[in-house]
Structure 1
């Protein structure tokens, strides 16, 4: 592996550039690029390594939304786990709420399927190749769960080696071994299910087997000549597109960069966009999110006057994009006050991958025999009947994680955008 003591949170080489949370994950990405891998290969390897270097901020049992520019188009990969499929589980949540500090708050682990989908659709390397740097980190055994996760990854590598067929089929075999999609005993899904049952969770093998990473169209707006892309409304990402549309009506350059007026206008636009996020966003596989209306000229022009340059708004004020009203009747409310990491890779061939791994790992919950910890992302759903983000069987939470891709004149723009 590249010398970690010479690498910070970002590094570049003759084969590409990477920025990520932990130095060990950055080194993993640089190593994969140096061995001929592309941005997708390096991103997949770095994301898995981040689950060691940045554990707590992210986890194999967590989530990672991704945007990919392949030189032609931008696509969104939904690395987000879902709620249990069991109607009885959903009924329990509706009666008792979605708990904190309990395995019932954990969604289906999504990171492995995301990384293997990334390799299958955009990469060139094997699972064994991209996971090798992570195994080197785990073999140091600095945490009690490291040997367990190393064993889990090696079981996937062994399944890849045993499988027949082409590279994609071998990758699929490794993934299926984790998620229990084949009728076999002794797979990783069996161990995960045993852990869920032991600790009183609702997730089962069927939930794992049903999980798939969806490749979707991103939400995009043109802002002053820049094309800004975000993942769909199963994340909070489109709020940035809404905020940028609102800011089209303000002379930010004339205000002066980071002047009081500049900061005020940006913050107030974000408040309005986030109020719409809370009122209207949810998993579009379950609810009709009025994204076109939210980004429309008419709705934007209705909302822009709500930004008062003389004072800050104290209330969240969602609008009514279908009824074309600036503020939704009875919609204003006073919001309450509530770890994530990052991975961005660009290669010599022009591919760019932007990912936002996370988990909010519940450390006290342990990892069981697999070394796979879990987070609390189901708490991003709610139990309000009729709300777009209300929990339902197999539903994705509307998460805050939100990678960004910016193009100008049909190519990735050179700009600094920090996560999330």
Structure 2
């Protein structure tokens, strides 16, 4: 019996659809798109990628109003400080790398704050004795250093900005005063932080809770105090924070609560424009911030890994992961011993970043897991941060990272100001022989690192992967996914990740020599056969149960004159272009 025309048409439609799906799937596999959760975002005139969709839209609006990438980055960062206080805010620090199209030059800024000038090392040790601690505790006023982010904004704006700060901060102020819906992942971290932090001295509970609790997903949250602070900055500039009303309020509150920062610490604060450190990896010039930041570890790891044919070894294989893990162990020992404030310590970059040194270290990697790695005080394996990147129609690109360190920071909120202080001072060493030892007016070690890649003298890729001590691992994973394994920038972030903990730390304290290879954690996308193979090599491996960071990236295609954008698929972020 002949088929009716309707049935025949339906069958043919299904066959055509299946054929199209098969061709599309084959095309994705041929181009290495097996891991992408979604397509890259493509824009011709500008791109913004942040960890919060509303912050991304605020940055994009700035670009559409005629602002440049620097203006958009400042606006987006002000918004994330409001909307994602679990990772950043104007009580924290900032680092950025900027490609400036007009001058055809790459710039870097260290906008991190310094320790109290009135607190000596000897007095610090006496204070620690009182609380029976050998290290600086994270939720104590001893851990508070001068917040550098606001000065960082104004330094960026003074050098490269286009729109007035009143216009740049207008939307963040509006959302602070009128409210915004809290996103899912941020709500989860926020609600987990509140039970502990709301007991801290100051105005944390009245500032950051709704009826004594962290806001639920979709709940509208307002921070009118932060709105007033941002309005004051828009009107009076950075001096309102470091020499005016805000600094005076902080000074008064610190004295009343036995804190250590004083007005002069704020008045003397300044950001520093620096030369980024760099290495070449397979023809790509990779840039990081050095000094008291762990960016140098990315470059050291790449130098060692350059000696392996990763493409032939394959993504996610036991050979590749073993090389990654062992390389991380070697580099993090240097990180623990050498990275510190360049004003106080001469970091030996000529040795650390040399290809000869990388070759020497590579020779230490064998067929089984190294087990003579010392275990440090595990204080920075986790850390909440925001990373964002922007690009504009002129060709300017910004790679910016900003953090309170431990989630919402210390939880110390000066009444009326609307933000919590960071606890970066926790990362000072108390060992007087260590390069990162506490000293007055010194910048502590930082985990937060912005990344930037140049190719043939042109800006290629602005990226970051926040997450405490994981960040160098994340940077290396993203870059090797793109350069060695041919992934696009969205897939590079979506692909299953690995982590390793148990290395020595820049705090300088070693608990013991456990003769341990440390702990490897893999996301579930890594085949279990690989887990077994790694264990056979002596690695202690667990699936999941770790924080694998969060990623944003923008790639510039000079031939097509477009930008590709990508954002972390595991949480709330968004990349958007126009």
Q: TM exceeds 0.5? A: yes
Aligned equivalents of 2:246 and 2:461: distance in 1? 42
**1:345 equivalent in alignment to 2:400:** no
2:375 is matched with 334
Q: State the shift of 1:314 in Å.
A: 3.5
2:125 is matched with 94
**1:68 equivalent in alignment to 2:131:** no
**1:118 equivalent in alignment to 2:163:** no
Instruction: Please show how residues 204-353 of structure 1 align to structure 2 within 5 Å.
Output: 204-308=262-366, 310-316=367-373, 333-337=374-378, 338=381, 339-353=384-398
1:82 is matched with 114
Q: Render the CA deviation track for 1:200-255: whole Å, top value 9, x for unaligned.
A: 21001100011111000000001100000000121000001011111121111110
> Residue 445 of structure 2 is aligned with which of 389, 398, 401?
398
CA spacing shift, 1:393–1:27, aligned 2, 3 Å: same
CA spacing shift, 1:14–1:139, aligned 2, 3 Å: farther
Aligned equivalents of 2:43 and 2:355: distance in 1? 43
Aligned equivalents of 1:367 and 1:12: distance in 2? 42
CA spacing shift, 1:263–1:123, aligned 2, 3 Å: same
With structure 2 as the length reference, what TM-score do the two structures score?
A: 0.62
1:133 is matched with 171
**1:77/1:216 contact within 8 Å kept:** yes
> Residue 407 of structure 1 is aligned with which of 406, 430, 454?
454
Q: Render the CA deviation track for 1:105-126: whole Å, top value 9, x for unaligned.
A: 1110111000111111111121
Unaligned residue ranges in structure 2 (runs of 5+): 1-37, 129-134, 181-204, 208-222, 472-578
2:57 is matched with 27
CA spacing shift, 1:391–1:225, aligned 2, 3 Å: same
Helix, strand or coil at the partner of 2:169:
helix
Instruction: Please show how residues 136-215 of structure 1 align to structure 2 within 5 Å.
Output: 136-141=174-179, 144-145=206-207, 146-159=223-236, 174-180=237-243, 187-215=245-273
Aligned equivalents of 1:206 and 1:313: distance in 2? 48
**1:13/1:30 contact within 8 Å kept:** no
**2:388/2:464 contact within 8 Å kept:** no
CA spacing shift, 1:349–1:22, aligned 2, 3 Å: same
With structure 1 as the length reference, what TM-score do the two structures score?
A: 0.85
**1:406/1:413 contact within 8 Å kept:** yes
Which range moved further: 136-145 or 14-23? 136-145
Q: Render the CA deviation track for 1:260-288: whole Å, top value 9, x for unaligned.
A: 21122122212211110101110011111
CA spacing shift, 1:334–1:91, aligned 2, 3 Å: same
**1:104/1:200 contact within 8 Å kept:** no
Q: State the shift of 1:377 in Å.
A: 0.5
Helix, strand or coil at the partner of 2:252:
helix
**1:23/1:53 contact within 8 Å kept:** no
Aligned equivalents of 1:157 and 1:47: distance in 2? 14
Aligned equivalents of 1:124 and 1:45: distance in 2? 12
CA spacing shift, 1:98–1:414, aligned 2, 3 Å: closer
Aligned equivalents of 2:253 and 2:416: distance in 1? 8
Aligned equivalents of 2:333 and 2:86: distance in 1? 28
Which range moved further: 293-302 or 38-47? 293-302
CA spacing shift, 1:11–1:203, aligned 2, 3 Å: farther
CA spacing shift, 1:60–1:121, aligned 2, 3 Å: same
**1:365 equivalent in alignment to 2:421:** no
Aligned equivalents of 1:416 and 1:24: distance in 2? 20
1:354 is matched with 399
2:76 is matched with 46
Aligned equivalents of 2:74 and 2:464: distance in 1? 21
Q: State the shift of 1:400 in Å.
A: 0.7
CA spacing shift, 1:418–1:87, aligned 2, 3 Å: closer
CA spacing shift, 1:214–1:364, aligned 2, 3 Å: closer
Helix, strand or coil at the partner of 1:341:
strand
**Count, aligned residues:** 375
**1:25/1:50 contact within 8 Å kept:** yes
CA spacing shift, 1:13–1:408, aligned 2, 3 Å: closer
Aligned equivalents of 2:365 and 2:415: distance in 1? 50
Q: State the shift of 1:94 in Å.
A: 3.0
Helix, strand or coil at the partner of 1:312:
coil
Larger Rg: 1 or 2?
A: 2
**2:115/2:440 contact within 8 Å kept:** yes
